[in-house]
């Protein structure tokens, strides 16, 4: 699959229909595949975490996420097709998997939240698709083994993992080969919280204007100030620094 260099990592330049078509092929293959996202925060984390940076480089698909990567891509001469953020793409991927008769497992967030996400999805997609859920607070290897057993028993082929960056990507890398039926594991960020209604998405107009991050900051200013305001400055510092090294 074509990968476009993005400074010291890469992205796959795709739109939604192209990405879903690739996922259809993944479901039909005998291999396991990971889907990760690259936004400004992810990029900043990768500059301090060599293991996570290597995971981004080796992922099956890395999708561009957010206005920061969009602006940096213009500066780097990279033409993106669409903002492929997980909050938009993952619900479409779940719906696509259901339309193909594939089962989905939701792993992440606090106790009870994934169950609410499952209930909301079943009201839209029917009760045949979401075959299992589990919270994301796995404390030890015994609990992890129980989670893996639950995923295997669910016969799910699509796994959505929401534990935050980079924990979710590292969990996928460490455990993917132990999952018997999973064909696609996607790093979901806060998508289970969104699907459960625990966190509200910005109005459609705000999303289209590319300032959903500002809406999210208004919801959780204490937690997100450093990520969005300090983090974006750090992101563009890295962009300019690494661009000079090319």
Q: What is the pLDDT of residues 86-127, one digit of tens each?
A: 999 999 999 999 999 999 999 999 999 999 999 999 999 988
Out of 15-29, 59-73, 211-225, which region has the weakest mean confidence (pLDDT)?
211-225
Residue 187: pLDDT band with limits 50, 70, 90: very high
Separation of alpha carbons 162 and 190, rounded Å? 6
Tell me the three state secondary structure of residue 223: helix
Distance CA 2, CA 11 (A): 9
Residue with tokens 């809406």: 215
Domain that residue 91 falls in? 4-204
Q: Cα dihedral sign for 4, 6, 8, 12?
A: negative
**Does residue 84 belong to any structural domain of this protein?**
yes
Residue found by looking up tokens 């057993």 in the block: 149
pLDDT digits (tens, 9 = 90+) for 7-60: 999 999 999 999 999 999 999 999 999 999 999 999 999 999 999 999 999 999
Residue 111: inside a domain: yes
For residues 105 and 99, the answer to whether their CB atoms sit within 8 Å is no
Neighbours of 146 (CB within 10 A): 12
Instruction: Report the alpha-carbon distance of residue 191 to residue 103 in Å, rounded.
Output: 17
pLDDT at position 227 over 90: no
d(CA 219, CA 209): 18
pLDDT tens digit sequence for 124-162: 998 889 999 999 999 899 999 999 999 999 999 999 999
Contact status, residue 189 vs residue 109, Cβ threshold 8 Å:
no
Q: What is the mean pLDDT of residues 234-246?
A: 92
Give the count of beta carbons closer than 10 Å to the beta carbon of residue 66: 25
Q: C-alpha distances in angstroms, 105 versus 118, 151, 164, 203? A: 9, 7, 17, 27
- Mean pLDDT score of the chain: 94
Residue 235 within any structural domain of the chain: no
pLDDT score, position 177: 96
pLDDT band at 212 (very low <50, low <70, confident <90, very high): confident
At residue 73 the predicted structure's pLDDT band, cuts being 50, 70 and 90, is very high
Residue 213 included in any domain: no
DSSP structure string for 68-86: HHHHHHHHHT---SS---H
Residue 192 domain-assigned? yes
Q: List the end-to-end C-alpha distance of the chain, in Å, as a whole number.
A: 23
Name the DSSP class of 229. Answer: I
Cα torsion at 13, 48, 234, 67 (round to 10°)? 20
Q: Is 162 within a domain?
A: yes
Total number of domains constituting the chain = 1
Residue 225, domain member (yes or no): no
Query: Residue 109's pLDDT is what?
Result: 96
Domain-located, residue 146: yes
């Amino acid at each position: 699959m074509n990968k476009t260099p993005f400074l010291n990592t890469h992205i796959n330049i795709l739109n939604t229909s192209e990405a879903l078509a690739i996922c259809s092929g993944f479901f039909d293959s005998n291999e396991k595949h990971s889907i990760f996202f690259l936004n400004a925060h992810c990029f900043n984390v990768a500059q301090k975490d060599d293991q996570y940076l290597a995971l981004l480089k080796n992922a099956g698909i890395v999708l561009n996420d957010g206005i920061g990567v969009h602006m940096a891509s213009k500066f780097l001469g990279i033409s993106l097709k669409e903002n492929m953020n997980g909050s938009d793409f993952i619900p479409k991927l779940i719906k696509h998997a259901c339309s193909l008769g594939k089962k989905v497992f939701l792993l992440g967030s606090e106790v009870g939240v994934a169950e609410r996400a499952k209930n909301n999805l079943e009201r839209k997609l029917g009760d045949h698709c979401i075959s299992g859920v589990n919270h994301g607070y796995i404390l030890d290897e015994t609990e992890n083994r129980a989670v893996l057993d639950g995923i295997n028993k669910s016969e799910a082929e699509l796994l959505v993992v929401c534990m935050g960056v980079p924990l979710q990507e590292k969990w996928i890398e460490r455990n993917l080969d132990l999952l018997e039926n999973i064909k696609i594991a996607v790093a979901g960020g806060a998508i289970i919280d969104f699907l459960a209604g625990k966190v509200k998405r910005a109005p459609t107009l705000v999303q289209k204007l590319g300032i959903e991050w500002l809406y999210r900051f208004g919801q959780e200013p204490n937690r997100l100030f450093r990520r969005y305001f300090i983090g974006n400055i750090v992101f563009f510092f890295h962009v300019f620094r690494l661009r000079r090294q090319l």
